[in-house]
Every structure is written in structure tokens, then in C-alpha cells.
Amino acid sequence: MAMKKGTILVTGATVRNSQAVSALQSSFELPARLTNINCIQGGLGVALASHVSTVYPAYHGIYTVRNASTPNVSLEAAIDPNTSHEVLSLDLGNNASIRAAAASINQRVSSGAIPPIRVLVLNAGFLEFAEQTYSKDGFDMSFAANYLGHFLLTLLLLESLAKERGRVVWVGSNVHDPSRPGISARIYPDEKWQTFMRDGTADGIAKGTWSSKEDDPTFRSGFRRYGAAKMCVAMSVGELQKRLAADPALKGVTSIGIDPGTMGTGMLRRSHWLIRNFPRWILIAAVTKTREYFWPGSTGPMRTVHVSARDIMEAGMNDQGNVAGGAYLDGTQPVEVSAEANDLEKRQILWRDSVGYVKLQKGETALADWK
């Protein structure tokens, strides 16, 4: 097999229901030049894998799922079998699993078995409504799976990022901003929910005491915890970029964020049946498919997984050079993150606390300013 241009790694590539599977039948086009790594999150993760294998076939693809020993029929069906790719186990709620996966990848990149990572897509997501669960390491699962696991994975893999044009893509959500009209205003109606980090620490979000199920037994508490985790993602885009830009060895690596829009994926599977089925599979599917049919290539708040996957990979590859490090996009358009996510002091507090949560040690990351 010819040497690949690089690796693309995508996290969260598992489809958990047949509706998500049927929504992914159309294929994408991605060239295989670099290695891309990401966790495949339901429909979007599979769409990303399909897009990478068809549009970037010159790259080696790494697609992570919680348990690679379980058959992933939909994922494998979405990937061109003639491209170089692998499915890797990665549990973002388990720091030991993250360290093991990163060590394996770093060793193979170092030995030349696979090329450096051109794009690391932090896509895996977790959203719950009726329940509140915790990671193996004792953190709120929304915080761990959406943010903290990706934080650790990124720092561990920086040594394997392509030193020129390597890019970390954080998949975010506009629900991180309580000031936005629409659903955010309904989810954060009280002032006490409109500030996520309090008292100079991220502990409330990390340990699930902020907007806990006990505080609010309705679905809104889980949605707020998801939003808080995505606020941490938005904070990390700029904070990581600042530290990369100041690092002589890693200044060619960049960090960006992107809101993929509202899609009909499996993210709402833990909600009430009406929320799970009506908005997601009837309203969202109808609106996005109609718009795509009459106005192909257009974007809006509701998008198909195919459009979102394309936007994510175009921003990650950045072949036009028009998406600078530190940018946060809504689809293809640059947007501002929330005021709290843009708070420099809080960004540093989150970073400091996160280093402590994952027990990062000297020598585990290539980043000079890691503390």
C-alpha cells in the first residue's frame, strides 16, 4: 500500500439505532492523504468517516468507538473498503482507556507505521435527560465525554500531530451560550443557570453538582449540563491555540471549534419518546432534506449530517487557508463564542482544573506550557 499523506482521527463513530443508520445511506467523498482521528458520534461520526474515505482517500483514517470488538456494520458500510482505515476502542469516560489508545497511536506514528495526524476531530458526544450518570473516574458523564476526555486525548496526542498544518477540531454547540434566543433561552430561564463556572473553579460542572438531577428533575437539567460541557469545549479552542502559538515546537499546529448545527442523529436517545422521535426524525429530517433538495449546499440552523461532516472536514483540512487557528465557526461562518467562554481568567481556571482532573504528569504531553 502506498504511503499515506497523513492520518485523520475522528472520535465517536457508533450508530445506535436504525433510524440513524437509514439517514446515512448517501456517501461522501474524502481523500486519503493524512491520518484523521475522531470518535464517531452516531450519525455525524459515520458521516465523517464516509466523507473522509471518499473525499480524502489518500489519508489513513482512525475512527474510535467505545468497543471496537462489537460489530459496527453501519460504520464499516460507510467506509470505502479500499481505503486505509481502522476502528479503535476508546472510552472517553475512562482516563486509563484514553491513555492506552493515545500511547498506541503515538508509538505507531513514532515508528512510522502510520503517518502523523493531520486532523484530530473531537466529535464524540453525550447528552442525557432523565438520568445523571458518572464516568469511571467520578466525573459527570456529560463533562467527561464531551470535554474532559477530549482534553486529555488532545494533550497526549500533540506529539503525533503534523508539525506543519496539524489541526485539532473541537465539535461544539450553540447551546453553550445562554444568551442565544430560542432553545437556549428556554433551557436557561433563571439567572442562576446563566453562569456555568462559579467560585473560581470548574468543580460544579465537573462533578455534576451544577444543574444536577436533584436541582431540577426535568429534562432541562441534563440539557444544561451538556451546554456547560460544550462551553468548556468553546473555552478550550482559544486556550489551546494560545499555548500552541507560543510553543516553538508546536506553533504549526492549530486549534479551531465548529458548531455543526442541529441534525437528526442519535444524540437524543435518552430523552422522552416524543422528544426522541418527533423533533428529530420528522421536523429536522423534513426541514433539512427539503432545504438540501431545493437549495443544495446551503446552510442553516438545521443541517443534514452530510453537510455538517463536509463543513467540519473542510475547516479541518483548511486547504484554502481561510480558517485561522482559534476560530470558532457556525458551519462555515465565523462566530463569537459566549461571553463566559471568552473570559480569559475562566479559561485559565478551566485548564488548570482539567490538568488536575486527568492527573497529567510531566512528560505526558509535548506541549511546553501544559500546566
The residue that leads in pLDDT, 127 or 301, is 127
pLDDT of residue 280: 46
What is the rounded average pLDDT of the residues 128-157?
96
pLDDT of residue 274: 44
pLDDT of residue 72: 86
What is the rounded average pLDDT of the residues 52-63?
97
Domain architecture of the chain: domains with CATH: 5-357 (3.40.50.720)
CA within 13 Å, CB half, 14: 17
- The answer to whether 301 and 262 are in contact (CB under 8 A) is yes
pLDDT of residue 188: 92
For 220-263, how does the pLDDT look when each residue is reduced to its tens digit (9 = 90+)? 999 999 999 999 999 999 999 999 999 999 999 999 999 998 75
The residue that leads in pLDDT, 364 or 130, is 364
pLDDT at 183 exceeding the cut of 80: no
- Distances 50 to 94, 169, 329 between C-alpha atoms, Å: 27, 17, 22
Query: pTM value?
Result: 0.86
Band of the pLDDT at 15, cuts 50, 70, 90? very low
For 185-234, how does the pLDDT look when each residue is reduced to its tens digit (9 = 90+)? 789 998 999 999 999 999 999 999 999 999 999 989 999 999 999 999 99
Is 67 buried (19+), middle (13-18) or exposed (0-12) by CB count in 10 A? exposed
Band of the pLDDT at 282, cuts 50, 70, 90? very low
Residues 6+ apart with CB under 8 A from 8: 30, 34, 35, 36, 37, 38, 52, 56, 59, 60, 61, 62, 117, 118, 119, 121, 313, 316
- The answer to whether 23 and 52 are in contact (CB under 8 A) is no
pLDDT at 182 exceeding the cut of 90: no
Range with the poorest average pLDDT among 113-117, 219-223, 355-359:
219-223
Question: Per DSSP, which regions of the chain are E strands?
Answer: 5-11, 13-14, 33-41, 60-65, 85-89, 117-122, 167-171, 254-259, 328-330, 333-334
pLDDT at 116 exceeding the cut of 80: yes
Active site residues: 226, 230
What is the rounded average pLDDT of the residues 91-107?
98
pLDDT at 151 exceeding the cut of 80: yes
